[in-house]
Structure 1
Amino acid sequence: MITVENLVKTFRGRGETLVALDGVSLEVPQGTVCGVVGQSGAGKSTLARCVALLEKPDSGAIRVDGTDLVSLGGAALRAARRRIGVVPQGDSLLRQRTAAGNVALPLESAGAARLQRRARVLELLDLVGLADKAGAYPDQLSGGQRQRVAIARALAGSPSVLLADEPTSALDPETTASVLGVLDRARAELGVTVLIVTHDMDVVRRICDDVAVLEKGRVVEHGKVLDLVARESRTASALLPTTDQITGLSSVDSERGYGRFDRIADVTLVGFAAVGALLPEASTRFGVQLAVLGGGLTRLADTPVARFRVGLSGDRADAALDFITEHGGVVQRATREEVAA
């Protein structure tokens, strides 16, 4: 588990002080993937460098598995750093070493025996899907393959925490998927807690359990992704389909002309059962006509999520919306004037 409490980090320049982190607090449960997102200059990379002990904060606490890293020094600090694997931004492999040699580097520094190193390197290259590239040099690998080798190297010391700074930057969609798949395997098979710094909300959509949104050095939103998309939030706005257009719908009644409906509402549904059955069941149970006017479907990791704008006609339209709410849907009733605006 990673716990950050009231972290402050400033940088002093010519006549001015830049506040990179301004009282940042967040908690990442063990074995989860948390995305740290925000615009350039929000403090994302500074936070990652502080957690990795590459930068010392001015004040605050950073706890990994209960140990406050900020207070450590000497041998204790070096030992704590070995519990944190870091995947730097960009291509960080040594060109004169093979893929296996790059992965072995942390093990050599730790004094691991040759046979132990060899077994661990082969295990990690297999984990990242590059067992057949052990003897290849970085210039013989694609960008995505080099990034996967960097992840294997970061895992070599069996860390409990893995920090990845923009791990999919400048990668094409297919390569991005392969890199994120490796990070997910590290979490699932090794139990590593993963902190991903990214500007790309699609990374959050594909892999993250939790998300922290930074703005001007402050956490403005933090929590489980599925909890945040179920209410009005920045995360919901970034990840869910907009309700003013139809996206990803098939065999669904889609009509305009809001005036003919008794009620109009935006409905968010999370999970297979809710997305597949809740709206038709509400329509049938309460004898109302229900039309989908906008919105669409998406998937957050393995969970389907939908946000629809719906129009309901019938005397029991309000009862149908109440039923959707009682069964886990998030309903925001809207007036025709609000919709038109």
Structure 2
Amino acid sequence: MITVENLSKSFWGNTGPVVALEDVTLDVPTGTITGVVGPSGSGKSTLARLVALQERPDSGVIRVDGFNTAALDPRRLRAARRRIGVVTQGDLLPQRTAAGNIALPLEQAGVDGPQRREKVGKLLDLIGLTDKAARYPDTLSPGQRARVEVARALVGDPGLLLADDPTKSLEADAAAGVLTVLDRARAELGATVLVVTSDAGVVRRIADDVAILADGRVAESGNLLSLVQDSTSQVAQSLLPSIDVAKGASAGYDRVAEVILIGFAAVGALLPEATARFSTNISVIGGGLTRVGETPVARFLLGLNGLRADQALGWITERGGVVRPQVGLARSIAA
């Protein structure tokens, strides 16, 4: 577990001190993928350097497995740094092959040849580049180079894998390949992963937990699926389909409600079953479907007609749907 408590960091700029982080508190639970998302200048790269123990904060505490890193002596601090794998960008040595780049930290640590080859082979398999082991960086695609960089960060069996904008400047397919590798690192190697990114799509694809940084502060944080259930949250606004409805499209319904459905059963079955069970006509006026990780999530604006429309909405709520009636967009149901 990595815990950041009341972290602040400032730098001296041309016009005086610049606050990069202010009173930031964040938990990175063991065995999860946590995404920190924010625009350029929000402080996310500064946070990444501090968590990697590459810099010290002005105030606040970073705890690794419960230990206050500020209290560690130099030897124990070096040991703590070795437990953190940092994914660098554009830092592969051109004169070494993909396998050679991955093996470099092991060589520097004095690991013998057979052990190095076994470890590198496993990581090449993890990133799907076994057939590219003898290729040099300039013959690899940008996405392949990024995957090699992830493998090199994993070679020391870190407890925490930290990736700062790992998909930056990559095309969609290449970015998806890098995210798949990060997910496999968590699932197959047991690594805890912290991804810092400006792309909310990265969080939607692989994160379990999320924190939004804005102007050096945590604006919102928590479990991703829990946050998307609240359509007013910043996470939901960033990740869920928007509801764009033409003027007058919601007229003529007894009830109008925004509904969020999570999971295969809810997305696939709740609305048809509510229609049949309560003899209520349910129409999707706006919204759409997306995925959070492997979980389907729907955000719909529904129009309902029928004497039991309210009961249908209540039943959907009882089965895990999040229902927000839209007051003023519906006519009264006759008694």
Give the structure-1-normalised TM-score. Answer: 0.93
Q: How much has 1:147 moved relative to structure 2?
A: 0.6
The CA distance in 2 between the partners of 1:84 and 1:173, in whole Å, is 27
1:337 to 1:256, Cα distance in 2 relative to 1, 3 A: closer
Asked if 1:91 corresponds to 2:107, the answer is no
SS in 2 for 1:196: strand
Q: Deviations over 1:68-87 (max 9, x none)?
A: 22322311111111100001
What is the one-letter code of the residue matched to 1:309?
L
1:59 to 1:278, Cα distance in 2 relative to 1, 3 A: same
Q: How much has 1:337 moved relative to structure 2?
A: 5.2
CA-based RMSD of the aligned residues comes to: 1.6
The CA distance in 1 between the partners of 2:29 and 2:200, in whole Å, is 20
Describe how 1:52-71 pairs up with structure 2 within 5 A.
52-71=52-71
Asked if 1:176 corresponds to 2:168, the answer is no
SS in 1 for 2:134: coil
Describe how 1:23-34 pairs up with structure 2 within 5 A.
23-34=23-34
What is the one-letter code of the residue matched to 1:73?
D
Q: Deviations over 1:259-290 (max 9, x none)?
A: 31111010000001111111122222222111
User: Is contact 1:256–1:293 with CA below 8 Å preserved after alignment?
Assistant: no
User: Is contact 1:43–1:216 with CA below 8 Å preserved after alignment?
Assistant: yes
The CA distance in 2 between the partners of 1:163 and 1:132, in whole Å, is 26
Asked if 1:304 corresponds to 2:292, the answer is no
1:15 to 1:169, Cα distance in 2 relative to 1, 3 A: closer
The CA distance in 1 between the partners of 2:74 and 2:107, in whole Å, is 20
Q: How much has 1:39 moved relative to structure 2?
A: 0.9
The CA distance in 1 between the partners of 2:190 and 2:143, in whole Å, is 23
Number of positions where the alignment pairs a residue of Structure 1 with one of Structure 2: 329
1:108 aligns with: 107
The CA distance in 1 between the partners of 2:248 and 2:173, in whole Å, is 37
SS in 2 for 1:159: coil
SS in 2 for 1:26: strand
Q: Name segments (4+ residues, structure 1) moved above 4 Å.
A: none
Q: How much has 1:129 moved relative to structure 2?
A: 0.9
What is the one-letter code of the residue matched to 2:58?
D
1:315 aligns with: 307
The CA distance in 2 between the partners of 1:25 and 1:312, in whole Å, is 43
User: Is contact 2:256–2:329 with CA below 8 Å preserved after alignment?
Assistant: no
Q: How much has 1:335 moved relative to structure 2?
A: 2.7
SS in 2 for 1:78: helix
Task: Identify the range of structure 1 (268-277 vs 309-318) with the bigger mean alpha-carbon deviation.
Answer: 309-318
The CA distance in 2 between the partners of 1:243 and 1:134, in whole Å, is 47
The CA distance in 2 between the partners of 1:220 and 1:195, in whole Å, is 18
Asked if 1:286 corresponds to 2:278, the answer is yes
1:200 aligns with: 199
Task: Identify the range of structure 1 (269-278 vs 9-18) with the bigger mean alpha-carbon deviation.
Answer: 9-18
User: Is contact 1:11–1:18 with CA below 8 Å preserved after alignment?
Assistant: yes
The CA distance in 2 between the partners of 1:31 and 1:129, in whole Å, is 22
The CA distance in 2 between the partners of 1:243 and 1:15, in whole Å, is 43
1:252 aligns with: none
User: Is contact 1:37–1:44 with CA below 8 Å preserved after alignment?
Assistant: yes
The CA distance in 2 between the partners of 1:63 and 1:226, in whole Å, is 26
What is the one-letter code of the residue matched to 1:258?
S
Describe how 1:12-27 pairs up with structure 2 within 5 A.
12-27=12-27
Give the structure-2-normalised TM-score. Answer: 0.94
The CA distance in 2 between the partners of 1:45 and 1:55, in whole Å, is 11
The CA distance in 2 between the partners of 1:170 and 1:266, in whole Å, is 36
Q: Deviations over 1:96-144 (max 9, x none)?
A: 2111111111112222122211211111111111112222111111111
The CA distance in 1 between the partners of 2:114 and 2:248, in whole Å, is 69
User: Is contact 1:243–1:266 with CA below 8 Å preserved after alignment?
Assistant: no
Q: How much has 1:245 moved relative to structure 2?
A: 5.1
Task: Identify the range of structure 1 (64-73 vs 157-166) with the bigger mean alpha-carbon deviation.
Answer: 64-73
SS in 2 for 1:167: coil
Q: How much has 1:221 moved relative to structure 2?
A: 0.6
1:256 to 1:325, Cα distance in 2 relative to 1, 3 A: same
